[in-house]
Amino acid sequence: MTVQPVSAASLPLDQAAVRAGELRDLLHHHAHLYYVLDAPALPDAEYDRLFQELQAIEAAHPSLLTPDSPTQRVGGAVLEGFEPVRHVVPMLSIRTETDTEASGAENFDARVRRELDLGEHAAPVEYAAELKFDGLAINLRYEHGVLVQAATRGNGETGEDVTQNVRTIKQIPLRLRGDGAQAAVLEVRGEVYMRRDDFEALNERQRAANEKTFVNPRNTAAGAIRQLDPVLVRQRPLSFFAYGIGETRGWDIPPTHSAMLDALQAYGLPVNADRAVVRGAEGLVKFHREIGEKRDTLPFDIDGVVYKVNSRELQRRLGFVSREPRWAVAHKYPAQEQVTRLDRIEIQVGRTGKLTPVAKLEPVFVGGTTVSNATLHNLFEMRRKGIRVGDQVIIRRAGDVIPEVVGKVDTRRASYVPNFRMPRHCPICGSEVVREKGGIDHRCSGGIFCPAQRKQAMLHFAGRRAMDIEGLGDKLVDQLVDGGIVTSLPGLYKLGVAKLTALERMGDRSALNLIEALEKSKHTTLARFLFALGIRQVGETTAKDLAKHFGNLESLMNATEEQLLAVKDVGPIVAKSIAAFFAEAHNREVVAQLLAAGVSFPESDGAAAAPAGPQPLAGKTLVLTGTLPTLSRDEAKELIEAAGGKVSGSVSKKTSYVIAGEEAGSKLDKARELGVTILDEAGLQALLAASD
């Protein structure tokens, strides 16, 4: 790879010609890997840099512009095995504003005003602003309301028929509702994508099976849609958002882009709620900033926002250039994948003793922050990716997922670098490192004698979703464990002000606050307590199920594997792990001491027990779907249960209300179908507030 920073515009013609040729070859090669094989070898940010370099050369030397230049065409091609589909209305690309500052929006607005000949005093232009989803474009053709064909963008003129695969996406209606069914032809365009949690879960499964993991949701989604086997597609959960139209016949196209999206939504198509109609550059800048702030909390990847001139009449006047409309632009955010050098590998020891190789990196700006550590997951995954110290590796940081090394850039090594090996002894406590036969994880066998495991166990215990001890963070835990001040979980409750204020950076005020937080944490629920204990295989959900099933700690601690298997969703591995945990005298002792310290759980999470406050939702069953603006799923559930209501996972005639947030999926459709009352978060709050 020859990514050299040259000031393209300043090259003399002959050198510029050589460089343009190189760039074209390089871009063609990588476009093929990306669009045709769904297996890019470069992060998008690198590709974009090369692309812009070529654009700059072509702008400085128009004679070097060739019709087959990657800057002149839409990137894809039609894969063998699929029927080609000719698009009546071509599927174009969007011009990208890579300037991630406010000026990206200002440039676009200025260009639009210039091209529309709007004077200084003319009113601000109205724009539809929306998210730029990072997936792949799909054209859905509805005839008289029935989905008859789904096609990829391909090279923009001709795409691939992927109807069978698209039918597996539950969010895509096979039949349109309302007026949508009247149109003779209505082509809906949108993005097929994979949610981040679906992607993480898929990779977790791959890892557990010691199989190849996927690099990012975008390429996984693109690969899934272009699978020849629909059964494989079904194993890769995909989602969809509509954002435009193609050919239409017998349909009155609404006069603005935003009204058109409203219509599509009314027909039953998923349209993302994070969209707005704004005026002028100012409105665009504000939208870009607001979305930038919430980007990490969105359940899917976006690589920017898209601005579109809202009026279709103005769109028509602005028209198109070679591969993109003049009335739309994509305004990017910092890339979520970047290349950097892997300097060293360190080993981190987790709560259960698992050894994780962690990459120490040359600091790199990725996904909006500077990253210098990233997980390599496990030895086998690292070997499969062929990663060695000194390599140029690809780092991904998206949402609140910890940064990870997803691959490496193909570079030749200057000299031989030995393969990384796991240490034979725990780097923290020196105990032997073991690996179960056939397993993928290496573990420290030191158990409670390993300070690293003790620290992690303590942090987990204190976590927000566990005992929720505010102020007990990793710096403090380091001091407590390293100084031998606290040697086990119950020891936390024996901390006094004197011991705490003797620590570094700990004043009277913080010490008192911590003690108060410790006191507060004692009043908890059985489910939280079980989760906090850090029993291997027992996550939050399993802890809740266990609490519900057994109702009290005693019966759970004495349950046999067989009795544990009777709990919903508890399989043999989980049952075994729980039984083994409570069989150990040390663990029973820890539990006894915690109870003696005052930890109590009068109510066992939603199970029996006398209700405390008013019960406005008594006897009602609610279903939650989508992302609510302020409440998390857990919080909403807790509030509903505290108000006497039940939360169910599926909609039926017995459902009292469906609480729908952004991106509500099939449950919302089902609710509409059954005529169940649909409320948003504000509606839910109103229900909760009605105390009689």
Shortest Å distance, C-beta 109 to ligand NAD: 18
- Residue 93, binding choice from Zn ion, ligand NAD, none, Cβ under 5 to 8 Å by partner class: ligand NAD
Q: Is 169 annotated as a binding residue?
A: no
Does the annotation list 258 as a binding residue? no
Q: CA angle at residue 653 from 685 to 616, to 5 degrees?
A: 30
Q: Facing residues of 622 across strands?
A: 647, 657
Consult the annotation and say whether 47 binds a ligand.
yes
Q: Which two tokens stand for residue 415?
A: 């000299």
Residue 651 interface partner, choices ligand NAD, Zn ion, none, CB cut-off 5-8 Å depending on type: none
The token pair at 563 is 């009795």
User: Could you say which DSSP state residue 256 is in?
Assistant: B
Contact track, Zn ion, 408-447, x by CB under 5 A: ------------------x-xx-x------------x-x-
For the CA atoms of the chain, what is the radius of gyration? 29
Binding at 450: pick from Zn ion, ligand NAD, none (beta carbon under 5-8 Å per type): Zn ion
CA atoms within 13 A on the CB side of 550: 21
Q: For residue 450, say whether it is annotated as part of any ligand binding site.
A: yes
List strand residue ranges (DSSP E) for 272-318, in order.
Answer: 276-279, 302-309
Q: Which is nearer to ligand NAD, 328 or 658 (CB)?
A: 328
C-beta of residue 528 within 8 angstroms of C-beta of residue 468: yes
Given the DSSP bridges, would you call strands 404-408 and 392-396 parallel, antiparallel or unpaired? Answer: antiparallel
Residues 618-632: b if buried by 16+ CB within 10 A, e if exposed: eebbbbbbbbbeebe
Of 191 and 391, CB closest to ligand NAD: 191
Q: Is 536 helix (H, G, I), strand (E, B) or coil?
A: coil
Structure tokens at 355: 């050894």
Residue 446's binding partner, choosing from ligand NAD, Zn ion, none, with beta-carbon cut-off 5 to 8 A by kind? Zn ion
Q: Taking the chain, what is the end-to-end CA distance rounded to the nearest angstrom?
A: 70
- Look up residue 392 and give its amino acid: Q
Footprint of ligand NAD (CB under 6 A): 30-31, 33-34, 40, 42, 44, 47-48, 74-75, 93-94, 96, 130-133, 136-137, 153, 191, 243-244, 306, 330
The residues near 91 (Cβ < 8 Å, ≥ 6 apart) are 74, 137, 139, 153, 154, 156, 159, 189, 246
Kindly state the smallest distance separating residue 422's Cβ from Zn ion, in Å: 13
Q: Which is nearer to Zn ion, 195 or 454 (CB)?
A: 454
130 belongs to an annotated ligand binding site: yes
Least distance between ligand NAD and beta carbon 105 (Å)? 15
Cβ of residue 451: shortest distance to ligand NAD, in angstroms? 43
Alpha helices in 469-552 (DSSP H): 474-482, 497-501, 508-521, 526-532, 540-550
From Zn ion, ligand NAD, none, interface partner of 626 (C-beta below 5 to 8 A by class):
none
- 653 catalytic? Reply is no
Which residue's CB is nearer to Zn ion, number 426 or number 546? 426
Beta-carbon neighbour count of residue 32 at 10 Å?
15
Residue 470 known to bind ligand: no
263 vs 500 by CB, closer to ligand NAD = 263
- The answer to whether the CB of 375 falls within 8 A of the CB of 404 is yes
Does 308 count as an annotated binding residue?
yes
Taking the least distance from each CB to ligand NAD, the nearer of 90 and 616 is 90
Write down the least CB distance from residue 253 to ligand NAD, Å.
17
Show binding-site residues: 44-48, 93-94, 130, 153, 191, 308, 332, 426, 429, 444, 450
Which residue numbers belong to the known binding site for Zn(2+)? Answer: 426, 429, 444, 450
Residues taking part in catalysis: 132
